[in-house]
């Protein structure tokens, strides 16, 4: 059966072009043109992936994303014309799996979609969804959450979860930055080590706010990053 995709964009012409391109590629495509309609379509068609524009009338893309994340962990690819890094960080922190800046080609969109669906298949089901215990940190992989002791759980973005799983699988050994970039961001172009430093910074802040220590994610010069509850001084 064809993979069901929901496109949410108030630009009717663009949504029509994307629908045509995706249908030609073999997807089953549904469309919504504002935030409220997006949530209605989500319930009625049960998509397997959502392509979500940030700038929507009424309920904007961030509000739609927050509601989607309360209901599902399906892949969400955000579209934005905003150049601000803060906008991208906000979307990722709310649970977006990736973002694509307008203007873009249908070919680029299809490549991102394939990467997200492939990543979901690799991570879905079986042992890949089992909770991950990293010292005092319990990672609920299936629900993208983490908890430290008896403190309240906190949500992890898709990128943060992939980073934790990678570091956790090698703990306490460090993982080279190049390997982290390839694993966490997969097929995305233009990602550099600054993006990795920003991701590590956000994750450290969440660990600290959740009752842990930022230095659990340790920077090891010439070697990369490691997860170690006994980490030394933060050098990154």
pLDDT at 125 over 70: no
Q: What is the pLDDT of residue 233?
A: 41
Query: Which H/E stretch holds residue 91?
Result: helix 85-94
Q: Can you list the alpha helix ranges (DSSP code H) found in 130-224?
A: 158-170, 177-185, 193-209
> Vertex 158, ends 153 and 160: CA angle to 5°?
65
Q: What is the CATH number of domain 127-227?
A: 1.10.10.10
What sign does the dihedral 81-82-86-90 (CA atoms) show?
negative
Q: Which residues contact 54 (CB under 8 A, 6 or more apart)?
A: 60, 61, 62, 78, 79, 80, 81, 82, 87, 91
Whether the per-residue pLDDT at 26 is higher than 50: the answer is yes
pLDDT > 90: percent of the chain = 47
Tokens of 42: 């989500």
3-state secondary structure of 182: helix
pLDDT tier at 126 (50, 70, 90 boundaries)?
Answer: very low
Q: What is the pLDDT of residues 153-180, one digit of tens each?
A: 988 877 888 899 899 888 889 999 988 8
Nearest CA-CA partner of 170 in 160, 180, 185: 180
* pLDDT score, position 94: 79
Angstrom CA distances, 50 to 22, 179, 225, stand at 12, 28, 32
Identify the bridge partners of residue 224 per DSSP, sorted by sequence position: 220
CATH topology of domain 4-123: Rossmann fold (3.40.50)
pLDDT-derived band at 230, boundaries 50, 70, 90: low
Ranges 121-125, 173-177, 201-205, 209-213: which has the least confidence: 121-125
pLDDT for the residue numbered 124 = 52
Q: Could you state, in order of their start, the residue ranges of all structural domains in the chain?
A: 4-123, 127-227
Most confident segment among 19-33, 60-74, 83-97, 144-158: 19-33
Its sign, for the CA torsion 94, 88, 100, 184, is negative
- What mean pLDDT do residues 211-219 have? 93
Contacts of 48 (CB under 8 A, 6+ apart): 3, 4, 5, 74, 75, 117
Number of C-alpha atoms within 13 angstroms, CB side, residue 141?
21
List all residues 6 or more positions away from 113 whose beta carbon is below 8 Å from its beta carbon: 5, 22, 49, 51, 77
């Amino acid at each position: 059966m064809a993979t069901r995709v929901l496109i949410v964009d108030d630009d009717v012409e663009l949504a029509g072009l994307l629908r045509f391109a995706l249908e030609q590629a073999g997807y089953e495509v549904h469309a919504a043109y504002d935030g409220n309609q997006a949530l209605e379509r989500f319930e009625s068609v049960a998509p397997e992936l959502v392509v979500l524009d940030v700038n929507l009338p009424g309920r904007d893309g961030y509000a739609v994303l927050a509601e989607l994340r309360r209901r599902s962990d399906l892949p969400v690819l955000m579209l934005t014309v905003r150049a601000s890094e803060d906008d991208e960080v906000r979307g990722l922190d709310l649970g977006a799996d990736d973002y694509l800046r307008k203007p873009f080609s249908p070919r680029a969109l299809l490549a991102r979609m394939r990467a997200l669906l492939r990543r979901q298949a690799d991570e879905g089901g079986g042992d890949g969804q089992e909770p991950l215990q990293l010292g005092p940190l319990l990672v609920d992989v299936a629900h993208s959450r983490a908890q430290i002791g008896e403190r309240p759980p906190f949500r992890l973005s898709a990128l943060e979860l992939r980073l934790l799983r990678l570091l956790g699988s090698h703990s306490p050994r460090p993982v080279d930055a190049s390997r982290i970039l390839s694993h966490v961001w997969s097929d995305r172009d233009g990602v550099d080590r600054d993006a990795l430093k920003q991701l590590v910074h956000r994750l450290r802040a969440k660990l600290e706010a959740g009752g842990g220590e930022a230095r659990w994610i340790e920077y090891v010069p010439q070697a990369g990053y490691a997860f170690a509850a006994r980490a030394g001084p933060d050098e990154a």
